[in-house]
A and B are shown apart, each in its own frame.
Chain A
Amino acid sequence: MKLENLTFKGGVHVPHSKELTEKKSLIYANEPSVVYIPLHQHTGAPCEALVNVGDRVKIGQKIAESSAFVSAPIHSSVAGIVKSITNITTPTGMNSACIVIESDGTKEVHESVKPKESLDKLSSKEIISIIKEAGITGMGGAGFPTHVKLSPPPEKKIDTIILNGAECEPFLTADHRLMLEMPEKVVFGLRAIMKALNVEKGFIGVENNKMDAVHALKSVIREDDKIEIVTLKAKYPQGDEKRIINAITGRKVPSGGLPMDVGCVVNNVSTAKAIAEAILEGKPLYERVVTVTGNGIKEPKNIVVKIGTKFQEVIDQCGGFNGTPGKIIMGGPMMGLAQFSTDVPVIKGSGGILVLTEEEALAEKVSPCIKCGKCLEVCPVTLQPLHISAHALKKNFEGAERFNALDCVECGACSFICPAKRPLVESIRFAKREILAKRKKS
């Protein structure tokens, strides 16, 4: 099998706009004076605080957890005093309880943070429990607790692990820099996942616009290794789980199914790096790389930020705004979430803070659909976005469902390409919510 320039059917070529930060090495943000750590940062059950107001906590100390399986504990990112536990709005728009910690500047690390056994000595169970204890959640966007992904039911035989290093969202370069600067950790993380699931075959998929990262990764895998670096065509949404599986293995995850249904588990490269640190250094997930970028930022950067740092503080460390900001997005421009303010904290899933200028943020005028079929051509799921959207806009959700609205992965490729600037995925998302709500009721 030739593992170069693989891809899937459909998709769009989006201007990368990665030049703003792709050459910028990772740097560490200043120690924040106060952090706001939400207790609900991922898909799954929210955590409950393990600390009280007035307690002193150290870096890496577990401060919240949940007894639910689909949940991941939360750790302090600073050493200091718990000032309050209060409700705030998170960048995902949720209202969540949040532990506010004032740093004392000592940077004292908690005793629990120490290297684990070497990988060959760890059992599969131990690896998964280290991952769970470290509070690792998917760092590519969805934020699903990683230990859950690594615990498939026994009847699902997993034979392939894929690390997603596609980073197909324009502007974002956090994964790119990680692969380039810490390839050993990424590969170590993959080996740990392979061991945890007892799998012999591992791939790292990287888009071909990051060849330096490909070379870096290739230089750390051994000749006889079970790991292969695959280059993928730079095309959006190459990093979508089902698309990357299809590109690398040719398998198709069934509609409504999960990667494990075709024997695959996919994790982000940043998640793998976090796993490596959890094993090698005993470090829980309390900081992450954030790409702070866009024409609305003075000095775009790839910056390692402690969870709980306010967006504004991060933006200030990147020279502040360049003119009046038009839109602030957590994540990339294709799937990221527009923010109401910069008064929100960085969470485990914050891969990017993108600031668009006023001009870039202005909505374009919507005109009638000319039935050009471009949306249909680019949809990676081969849906007919124009029809689903037309039904959704008429509030005919049954019609939308008949056109398989629920299969939409919300990649936004259709809206991107539409010459009439129709709100395709925007309306499909709305229809999906209505359809699911109705299903729940009945």
Chain B
Amino acid sequence: MEGKILNPTKTDSAISDLLIVSSSPHLRSNESVKRIMLDVIIALIPAMIGSVYFFGLNALKLILISIASALFFEAVIQKMLKKEISINDYSAVITGILLAFNLPANAPWWIAVFGSGFAIIIVKQLFGGLGSNFMNPALAARAVLLTSWPNIMSNFVLPGADAITGATPLAIMKYGAADAGASATVAQAAAELPSILNMFIGNRGGAIGETSALLLLIGGLYLLIRKVIDWKIPVIYIATTAVFLLLLGVETDQLVYHILGGGLILGAFYMATDYSSGAITPIGQIIFAFGAGALTALIRVKGGFPEGVSYSILLMNVAAPLIDKFTAPRVFGRSK
């Protein structure tokens, strides 16, 4: 830079003018918010590709519309609120992807736009923006869509070119395949259920991004390796769900479907681990995951929905500040 060339023979005040004087530490790690967000996006890519493979171009279209509108709404609302536009931190991209992942593959385009708008404007920005949202934006938006347009939101397509609609495995178990009202017997349900292998790789009915346990786990593993998330939340969440389902009387051979289906893996690895809407203390995170697991099982068995992951996480989101308060870590050298 001009005028910034130091001449060692100059008086010391010349050096003084150039020096930065700030408080320690003078060294920062190379961690950054952007890098963390980028890691989450990278982790979601396998499932994104999988969704296009299973559900076709409409899935891709919804994902892209969802991302684009999330970015658009974030920029517009920040401009209106006279805040710095921060779409380059990638967090809106993640909200867009996660929202799309929660939609059925044949949902109309405007559902994605409405959902992203609600997630970004109401849940994220009006509560203070990145880091201040007390609920997971994508999940809150999904909950609103589900109550406003229940038909569209529960009208799942089965994989394949002809895109016929069909029930999700959990709905089959709860209600039977044909009649979405009556209870199915185990035998009836079993005949309609996809194979466990198809459950695992994602070749079955469900929302865009939730069907492939395999691809979601690959991304989850990446996040664990990159230390973006800690194993405790997803593992405790899934394990608690399984244990409670058994306690509530679910047959062991149906358990696999419960774990691989209904968005549990997506929720456990990508939504319950959301930093700002979750608990932050080490013990609080364990309670958070445990609570979400117990609630998921309860809603699935006793509640009116076959799934229950989103509502459980949202409920725990609301409880998180309180959990944090009561689980504040004990300060080193203090008795309490």
Contacts and interface: CB of A to CB of B under 8 A. Distances in A.
A337 B24 CA distance: 7
Given A328-B19, A341-B15, A412 B332 contact: no
18 contacts: A14-B27, A254-B335, A329-B24, A334-B24, A334-B27, A338-B21, A340-B16, A340-B21, A343-B16, A356-B26, A364-B28, A367-B89, A370-B275, A372-B275, A376-B280, A404-B331, A419-B33, A429-B23
Instruction: Please name the 4 residue pairs, one residue from A and one from B, whose CB atoms are nearest each other, closest first.
Output: A412-B25, A333-B27, A419-B31, A341-B16
Interface string A384-414: 1010000000000000000010010010100
B20 A338 contact: yes
B25 A416 contact: yes
A325 B16 CA distance: 10
Nearest to A170: B27
Interface stretch (B124-132, B155-163, B218-226): B124-132
A370 B19 contact: no
Interface residues of A, number: 70
B131 A371 contact: yes
Nearest to B277: A371
A255 B334 contact: yes
A382 B8 contact: no
B270 to A, nearest CB: 15
A416 B26 CA distance: 8
What DSSP secondary structure best describes chain B's contact surface?
Answer: loop
Contacts of A153: none
Interface string B313-336: 000000000000000111111110
Nearest to B23: A426
Contacts of B129: 368
A361 B127 CA distance: 34
A116 interface: no
* Residue of B31, B129, B278 most packed against chain A (CB within 10 A): B31
Given A370-B131, A370-B275, A342 B15 contact: yes
Contacts of A425: 23-25
B281 interface: yes
Contact of B6 (A324, A383, A417): A324
Contacts of A142: none
A381 B332 contact: yes
B36 interface: yes
Nearest to A426: B23
Contact of B332 (A255, A329, A371, A429): A255
Nearest to B329: A382
Contact of A338 (B8, B24, B328, B331): B24
Given A327-B21, A382-B329, 16 more contacts: A170-B27, A246-B332, A333-B24, A334-B24, A342-B15, A367-B86, A367-B130, A368-B129, A370-B131, A371-B131, A371-B278, A371-B280, A373-B280, A374-B31, A376-B282, A415-B28
Contacts of B80: none
A327 B130 contact: no
A410 B129 CA distance: 29
A320 B334 contact: no
B29 interface: yes
Nearest to A336: B24
A335 interface: yes
A5 interface: no
Contacts of B31: 374, 417-419
B25 A334 contact: yes
B163 to A, nearest CB: 38
A415 B281 CA distance: 18
